[in-house]
Amino acid sequence: MFRAAPFRIAVWSVVVFNIIFLGLPTVVIVLASFTAGDLLTFPPEGFSLRWYERLLGMRDFREALGRSLQVALFCTLFAMPSGTLAALAMVRYRIRFARTLQLYFLLPFTVPLVVSGIGMMYVFGDMRVLGSLWPVGLATCAINLPFMIWSVSSAVNRLDPDLENAAANCGATPLQAFFTVTIPALMPGIITGALLMFILALNEFIVSIFLVDASIVTLPVWMYTSIRNIITPDLAAVSVVYILFAIVSIFALDRWVGLDIFLKSK
């Protein structure tokens, strides 16, 4: 290799910088959450679990977490079939306006979330369903659906196009082939997409703030309202709860799907 050493040093500097930059805020928050003091500080003053204790004692927090989990579950359950079918349709079948449709599915990403939030507030308001949790789940599903579609599309692209023909050849009806061959073969992509959708819905803030009222506050909105009063270390503790969810899902992803599908380039 020509001038290998300087190149390697440059690459490694970037890698180390990225690791520090990505990891440091998380480390700071995790450490700060164990502080024994009354303020969110770094380095933390002493060690205690008092803020976690306080958090668990708060009914507001427990209810907000429960609502966020409901929203995330609704979003995921809705995204799995719709995202999977959309991905299959766009990759497999020569449908008219396929490109236009792909762009249309990206629309929520290109429109600022504030705009989506206001729009959905009007839509759901006119339908007189504001005040329930499912519109929040539906909204988070709508804005994050591209993640589900991308994840399943990449699985569809890896699939042998003759797989369904092979099933038919084995005597499977189109419906049997779909459920016994296509869906299981796409499972890695579906699980990946579903976990992404779940985490994103759990974190969704901007659109949610337009769709929730005081009686159905979700966790991110609850955190935001808390900050407006005073920044106490229990917020750091909530962040750690989020980090835990993220770690659990990455672990689950690796167990069920294998993270190597993300590392393998096609």
The string of DSSP letters for 89-104 reads: HHHHS--TTHHHHHHH
259 binds another protein (CB under 8 A): no
User: Which one of 7-15, 101-109, 178-186, 239-247 is the stretch in contact with another protein (CB under 8 A)?
Assistant: 178-186
- Residue 260 binds to another protein (criterion: CB under 8 A): no
d(CA 170, CA 157): 23
Does 41 help bind another protein (rule: CB under 8 A)? Answer: no
Question: If phi over 0 gives left and psi between -120 and 50 gives alpha, with beta otherwise, what is residue 118?
Answer: alpha
Nearer to another protein, 126 or 160 (CB): 160
Place of tokens 């991308």: 150
Q: Which is nearer to another protein, 164 or 204 (CB)?
A: 164
Q: In angstroms, what is the minimal distance from the CB of 164 to another protein?
A: 9
Q: Per rule CB under 8 A, is residue 171 in the interface with another protein?
A: yes
At its nearest, how many Å lie between another protein and the CB of residue 184? 4
Site for another protein in 147-166 (CB under 8 A): 160, 162-163, 165-166
Single-letter amino acid, residue 143: I
Question: Least distance (Å) from another protein to the CB of residue 171?
Answer: 4
Cis peptide before 43 (omega within 30 of 0): yes
How near is the Cβ of 157 to another protein at its closest, in Å? Answer: 14
Told to check if 180 binds another protein by CB under 8 A, we report yes
Q: What Å distances lie between residue 104 and 110, 142, 144, 167, 189, CA to CA?
A: 10, 11, 13, 33, 21
> 16: how many CB neighbours lie within 10 A of its CB?
10
Residue 173 binding another protein, by CB under 8 A? yes
230 near another protein, rule: CB under 8 A: no
Tell me how far, at minimum, the Cβ of 159 lies from another protein, in Å.
8
Q: What is the DSSP letter of 132?
A: B
169 part of the interface to another protein, by CB under 8 A: yes
Per-residue exposure over 44-72, b if at least 16 CB sit within 10 Å of its own CB, e if not: beeeeebbbeebeeeeebebbbebbbbbb
| Separation of CA 27 from chain center | 21
Residues lying near another protein in the complex (CB under 8 A): 160, 162-163, 165-174, 176-177, 180-181, 184-185, 187
